[in-house]
Chain A
Amino acid sequence: MSFLRKSVHLLGSVARRQQHLKVIGGAISTAARDFSSKPSDDYANFPGAKAPFVSKLNLIQPEDYAPIPIYRVMDQDGYIADESQDPQLSREVVEKMFRDMVLLNTMDKILYESQRQGRISFYMTNFGEEASHIGSAAALEMRDLIYGQYREAGVLVWRGFRIDQFIDQCYGNTDDLGRGKQMPVHYGSRELNFVTISSPLSTQMPQAVGAAYAMKLRPDNDACVVCYFGEGAASEGDAHAAFNFAATLGCPTILFCRNNGFAISTPSHEQYKGDGIAGRGPMGYGITTIRVDGTDVFAVYNAMKAAREYVLKENKPVVFEALAYRVGHHSTSDDSTAYRPAEEIEIWNSVEHPISKLKRYMVHKGWFDETVENEYVKDIRKKVLKQIAVSEKKLKPNWREMFEGVYAEMPDHLIEQRSELEKHIEAHKEHYPLKNFEK
């Protein structure tokens, strides 16, 4: 666990780095408009929009707008194209980024397998999206509040959530911070400012906006809110609510879309017809927008750094779209080769994989040591396997926990129902798995 403890320490040092980033300008589209706007004295007086009149009928086409470009720092061979964009992270930080990605990847592989063996009930991997988790988390401060969807475990890894905490949650045992109430991968941590995950998609989005609004009003607020969601979730009404509330109410929140091309089996071209999620930001909701290569940890890092600075300075939101590819199946209940070719997956799992890219960068830097890394992976494997054995044996919380936390204090009717169950179990204990639960 010593490496992880070091990670927490490092988190602060990375976040403290003061850098002047000039990335953001390059990331924004120079959208070509088919009509030219004249100075404002020519504008019409409608309250609903400020715009000039035109005397020729012109249907505005989606094609009239150039797609928002994808900001990238490092190419697929691990070379930095424009030196001015090099975040100049120390070897120590880059190694933590790499190792956290590897840790997540290794833990995912083993927990995925353990679900296949029926040891945990459910799992969702993060394959292919490790860089967007780690890159974004590294650019934030611990005090920034995170709302996630469910495929952001890397953010927790970066913040120092421990292997045992992940695995205890998946088992819902007595050490699970969530007290065994939710399905696996629904993590949460008060200490790490990571709001507990829930299954209904996008519900966290307007919540993140509300939290950002409340935080903005605190004297000397220096924390923002980051809300992660997939491109499928962005089709929900709550996403619209969040974008619009964030813009109109001036909320310092980064709306971070993980666009990985699929929502379970639904490809993104069946999800929307516009220019991705980023395309909705500037014209649609009046929100400053960034689109990045989500397989490039440095691009994500730079853009998040700039986004964080912007939202706190301006008290306004940012729409952040990280493009990647969901390399793994949607979940353990899904076989993704039923709706996409294996060869396609393979490309994203090798040359285009975020871990491979960062590894190539480290090789060029002379920071990569094959033997050390193999040892590290072996060590993580051992830790995860050992933890599974430990977590599996731990008792589940006392079954009375089921009635706790519905309300701040237990109301009479729940006390009554709990005692009804107590009597029932006392009379029929042989039919219940009592030995697996704390007394």
Chain B
Amino acid sequence: MNIVSAKLGNSLYNCVRSNLIWPLWTRSHFTYYPTSLGTGKRMNMFNAINNAMDLALEEDKSALLFGEDVGFGGVFRCSVNLRDKYGSQRVFNTPLCEQGIAGFAIGVANTGATAIAEIQFADYIFPSFDQIVNEAAKYRYRSGGLFDCGSLTFRVPCGAVGHGALYHSQSPEAYFAHTPGLRVVIPRGPIKAKGLILACIRDPNPCIVFEPKTLYRAAVEEVPTEYYTSQLGKADILRHGKDVTLIGWGTQVHVLLEVAETAKSKFNIDCEVIDLVSILPWDTITICASAKKTGRVIIAHEAPLTQGFGSELASYIQEKCFLHLEAPVKRVAGWDTPFPHVFEPFYMPDKHRCLSAINDIVNF
């Protein structure tokens, strides 16, 4: 397997919304495991996302791409060159106002046109929470199907990045997982990101794609250049195993893959690693089948433990797989604190904490 070492570049340095100058230290808590999928073009994740949006804008003349600083290419370079190619009426900056971006996107989608809206960081999605939760998610339901905003997709950079502190590191997927009517997905790399974005743009429901921003440059794969979609609501089994099921999403998947290798080589424990991919609706069938097979489940996510999405998984697995479980379902997550700056190495559900959890669950 071709292992690309994750090197966090200075992508964030250029795009912080505050005036703080950050130390440019390089750190990574994971090793990137690319998905190999035949031949394609070598792309990192922002290239793949750019390629996906390029295809979407080309295929669908009604598609609009907008958000803060999207016009010049985006602070993470995801929309680079798209304004030149499709014109400033279709790819444009909005005023700096997340509730406006979300409301505007809903209106675009109400007319049947396709809206691809970017929220610059997941940490700043909360001003648009009302528009997303009360409006986007409920549009079809409350109107008896007369109106909807299904042609709407939010792209939202999320997750830890080494030095993002409180407001450039959050993983808010659980807030949205509690909202019927939304689709929430998180890619683990370029191939998945492109497939999920194209699937969400085409899906007739409002979708949120949380993109782990630490992967934008670090994750490199051979990405097929043609149009393809990745199935929504479907988890991916990345490594088969019989002893323990490890469930994660986004960057955490790579932590778990490394942990699984270590567990195998050091302790001869055979882990099954599953990328959940879709947070809502999520793939109960794949998860329960694996839990029943191994009898031991660990869920790991960067977001805080209490009411994190791991809680939903754990309680569902407990309810549906009770007789198969050999040990309590274990959650390895961020602590119930705000996401800290200098303490990030101690905050993360890193490979050492995950490995220790495997030992605990096997020896239960």
Contacts and interface: CB of A to CB of B under 8 A. Distances in A.
| Bound together | yes
Interface of A: 145, 147, 176-179, 181-182, 186, 188-190, 195-196, 198, 200, 203, 205-215, 217, 225, 237-238, 240-242, 244-245, 248-249, 404-409, 411-413
A220 B130 CA distance: 34
Contacts of B106: 206-207, 210
B115 interface: yes
Contact of A413 (B109, B148, B203, B284): B284
B284 A245 contact: no
Contacts of B38: none
Contacts of A242: 100, 103
A423 B240 CA distance: 37
B144 interface: yes
Given A210-B104, A237-B99, A238-B130, 12 more contacts: A195-B147, A203-B130, A206-B100, A206-B102, A206-B107, A210-B108, A210-B109, A213-B104, A215-B111, A217-B113, A241-B95, A244-B97
Contacts of A207: 103-104, 106-107, 110, 135
Contact of A408 (B89, B100, B113, B140): B140
B147 A237 contact: no
A245 to B, nearest CB: 5
B141 interface: yes
A214 B149 CA distance: 13
Interface in B54-100: 62, 64, 89-90, 92, 94-95, 97, 99-100
A179 B134 CA distance: 18
B19 interface: no
Contact of A245 (B95, B110, B138, B233): B95
A188 B143 contact: yes
B100 A244 contact: yes
A245 B147 contact: no
Most A Cβ at <10 Å: residue of B107, B108, B115: B107
Contacts of B115: 210, 214
A203 B104 CA distance: 10
B3 interface: no
B235 to A, nearest CB: 13
Contacts of B143: 178, 188, 195-196
B21 interface: no
Contacts of A249: 92, 94, 104
Given A241-B100, A245-B97, A408-B205, A182 B284 contact: no
Nearest to B149: A207
Contacts of B105: 210
A255 B54 CA distance: 34
A206 B147 CA distance: 16
Interface in B106-155: 106-111, 113, 115, 127, 130-131, 134-135, 138-148, 150
Given A200-B135, A244-B100, A178 B146 contact: yes
Most A Cβ at <10 Å: residue of B92, B134, B143, B146: B143
Contact of A213 (B95, B107, B127, B233): B107
A406 B137 CA distance: 8
A178 B146 CA distance: 8
B180 interface: yes
A179 B181 contact: no
Q: Which 9 A-B pairs have the closest CB atoms?
A: A210-B107, A206-B103, A241-B100, A179-B144, A196-B143, A210-B104, A207-B107, A408-B204, A211-B107
Contacts of A244: 95, 97, 100
Nearest to A181: B142
A200 B107 contact: no
A208 B107 contact: yes
A225 B106 CA distance: 14
B34 interface: no
B281 interface: yes
Contact of A178 (B62, B142, B205, B281): B142
Nearest to B109: A210
Contact of A214 (B102, B107, B130, B131): B107
B342 to A, nearest CB: 33
Contacts of A208: 107
A209 B144 contact: no
Contacts of A176: 144
A436 B206 CA distance: 33
Contact of B127 (A200, A217, A237): A237
A303 B145 CA distance: 34
A244 B101 CA distance: 11
A214 B64 contact: yes
Most B Cβ at <10 Å: residue of A182, A189, A217: A217
15 contacts: A176-B144, A177-B146, A178-B143, A179-B145, A181-B141, A181-B142, A188-B144, A195-B110, A196-B146, A207-B110, A209-B104, A217-B89, A405-B140, A406-B181, A413-B284
